[in-house]
Amino acid sequence: MTFAIETEGLSRSFGKLTAVERLDLAIPSGSVFGFLGPNGAGKTTTVRMLTALIKPSSGSARVLGHSLGSDDQQIRRSVGMLTETPGLYDKLSALQNLVFFGRLYDLSRAEAEKQAEHYLRLFDLWERRNDPVGRFSKGMRQKLAIVRALLHEPKLVFLDEPTVGLDPEVARTVRDTIKQLRSQGRTIFLTTHNLPEADELCDLIAIFRGKLLHLDTPDRLRARLANQATLVRVVGDPRAWQATVQALPFVRDLRLSEDALEISLADPERNNPALIAALVGAGAQIRYVEPRTTTLEEVYLKLIGEA
């Protein structure tokens, strides 16, 4: 397995404040990596170090095989970056903005224009290519900033909150683009607060708060909370079946809501048939039985809370 990013003890301090403490990461090439953490956790500092914008105080990193510190120009040439704010020239047109940045990424004028056309069409901005960016809506500016990050076809793309300010349809286009980039073998480093989005897109998720708290796949992170439960929706008052459920030996915990019993089980797949049989045997009329899954948001909040 090759890694797009490998860091070892990567740290950055600002005076007495340690923003990033001994970060060890290995992000496989061609994956979508979610970097989650609260505001002020040091995510931007980490991204800035990995894009060779700021120097680490200590530690080392290799980005696409290039060493941070000695191959910084190579790193900048090979990665694309969507910054926290779009950072576009309001007086210039969308096309002029893209041609300018494209040329800074060593594209010829013709190449930059060709690439700009391809991505502006993909993001439905081609008709507005000659309009000053100052007239663009927040969502259009965000789309243009994404186009800028992809213009030179980087192998590694850093995206900071890519769907912020976008309407659901465009946000879907962005997510589809991220999936398409992954299918092309590119690596995406995604910083986001949108946890369902991270859950949908990411192969690997890091939960970060100054230091790495957890690093795993979304499924394994959920399994850490392992509160496996079955939700049984019944006709009538669910309290009528409380005693029946509590009498079963494999039930770990029971919570009641207005029309449902949330039953924590040792092994739902094995225990569910017996549970349902017991309830039906006791006269319960069951409307639905569904697994109670743990969301990434619950996992995130729990792990950040513990930290």
Partner 1 sequence: MQKISVVIWKEWLELLKQRMLLLSVLILPITLSVIPLISLFGIALAPGTGEPDELTLRMLETDPTLIGLSEQAATQVIIGRSLSTLMLLLPMLIPSILAAYSIVGEKNNRTLEPILATPITIWELLLGKIFATLIPSVLLTWFASMIFSVGVAQSAVDPIVFSLVVSPSWVLLLLLCAPLLSLIAISLMVMISSRTSDPRTAQQYSGVLVVPFLALFVSQMFGILSFNPVTTLIATVIIAAFAALALWGAVMIFQRDSILTRWN
Q: Integer distance in angstroms from the first to the last C-alpha of the chain?
A: 31
**DSSP category for residue 57:** S
Give the CA angle between residues 146, 148, 151 to the nearest 5°: 110
Distance CA 299, CA 144 (A): 33
Give me the 145-184 binding string for partner 1, x by CB under 8 A, dash otherwise: x--x------------------------------------
Cβ-based nearer residue to partner 1, 73 or 257 = 73
Please report how close the Cβ of residue 141 comes to partner 1 at its closest, in angstroms: 11
Stretch that binds partner 1, among 1-9, 87-95, 178-186, 240-248 (CB under 8 A): 87-95
By CB under 8 A, name the one of 40, 55, 124, 290 that touches partner 1: 55
By CB under 8 A, name the one of 2, 58, 73, 184 that touches partner 1: 73
Stretch that binds partner 1, among 85-93, 168-176, 249-257, 296-304 (CB under 8 A): 85-93
Q: Does 54 bind partner 1 (CB under 8 A)?
A: yes
By CB under 8 A, name the one of 105, 189, 208, 300 that touches partner 1: 105
Looking at the chain, which runs of residues are DSSP E strands? Answer: 3-14, 17-28, 32-36, 58-63, 66-67, 79-82, 156-160, 187-191, 204-209, 211-216, 229-234, 251-256, 260-265, 286-292
Cβ-based nearer residue to partner 1, 159 or 245 = 159
Distance CA 153, CA 251 (A): 54
By CB under 8 A, name the one of 2, 9, 69, 103 that touches partner 1: 103
Distance CA 144, CA 120 (A): 8
By CB under 8 A, name the one of 9, 24, 60, 106 that touches partner 1: 106
Please report how close the Cβ of residue 76 comes to partner 1 at its closest, in angstroms: 4
Distance CA 296, CA 307 (A): 16
Q: Does 3 bind partner 1 (CB under 8 A)?
A: no
Q: Can you state the angle between helices 218-225 and 296-306, rounded to 10 degrees? A: 70
Please report how close the Cβ of residue 91 comes to partner 1 at its closest, in angstroms: 4
Stretch that binds partner 1, among 23-31, 77-85, 173-181, 211-219 (CB under 8 A): 77-85
Judged by DSSP in three states, 290 sits in strand
Q: Is 272 exposed, middle or buried (0-12, 13-18, 19+ CB in 10 A)?
A: middle
Q: Is 109 exposed, middle or buried (0-12, 13-18, 19+ CB in 10 A)?
A: exposed
Q: Does 213 bind partner 1 (CB under 8 A)?
A: no
By CB under 8 A, name the one of 2, 9, 90, 280 that touches partner 1: 90
Indicate the pairing of strand 251-256 with strand 32-36: unpaired
Q: Can you state the angle between helices 138-150 and 94-104, rounded to 10 degrees? A: 30
Please report how close the Cβ of residue 85 comes to partner 1 at its closest, in angstroms: 5
By CB under 8 A, name the one of 22, 62, 76, 193 that touches partner 1: 76
Per-residue tokens: 87: 């950072």
Stretch that binds partner 1, among 93-101, 116-124, 178-186, 197-205 (CB under 8 A): 93-101
Backbone angles phi, psi at 264, to 5 degrees: -85, 130
Q: Does 67 bind partner 1 (CB under 8 A)?
A: no
Q: Which residues bind partner 1 (CB under 8 A)?
A: 14, 48, 51-55, 73, 76-77, 79, 81, 83, 85-92, 96, 100-101, 103-106, 132, 145, 148
